[in-house]
Amino acid sequence: MERLYLAGGYGFKEIDRIGIQPLIDILAKKFELILPFEKAKDNGQKLAELERELRSEKPSDSPAQILKKMREINWQIGKGNEDHIRACDRILAIADGPDQDAGTAAECGFGYALGKRCDAYRGDFRPSGENSACIVSLQLEYFIRASGGIFFFSFEEVKLHFEN
């Protein structure tokens, strides 16, 4: 079974984590899924706690120490994502929003450099590229198309494509 890395900023907000579930269910029938937000869930929670601590009136540690801990966790998450992208067979980028998630674009670019196919899901009808010929940012679109990837504009399209 092919391994698919699901790139996107969907893990930062509860509403997005809930909304992405039907797509995950569709993909899980065809792929072994690599869900970076699930893989980094504990570290994400630690970062949220440290962020709250940093902004509290009386932090238990110095701001410099808190930031040092945060940088270490950031490194772990970034390295983990690198390892997961290296281990996957292909990437599906969630490319919704008026401006795509910077991490998603970086993950697709890295995957493209490794020779991975990168497809994209964009269920958002709003314009988002630098000009009218772009579906998403021109660089992200380049990585997707140059890798042989395609765009999906609904969960139904994803389902129909991967059922065949």
78-125: pLDDT as tens digits: 999 999 999 999 999 999 988 888 999 999 999 999 999 999 999 998
CATH number of the domain that residue 136 is part of: 3.40.50.450
Enclosing domain of residue 29 = 3-163
Amino acid 102 reads A
Write out the H or E segment, with its range, that includes residue 4: strand 3-7
Report pLDDT for 12: 79
**Number of domains, the chain:** 1
Spatial neighbors of 73 by CB under 8 A, at least 6 apart, are 43, 46, 47, 50
Percent of the chain with pLDDT over 70: 100
User: Does 41 have pLDDT greater than 90?
Assistant: no
Spatial neighbors of 147 by CB under 8 A, at least 6 apart, are 108, 111, 112, 116, 117, 118
Which residue, 160, 153, 36, 25, is CA-closest to 103?
36
DSSP 50: H
Return left, alpha or beta for 103; rule: phi > 0 is left, psi -120 to 50 is alpha, else beta: alpha
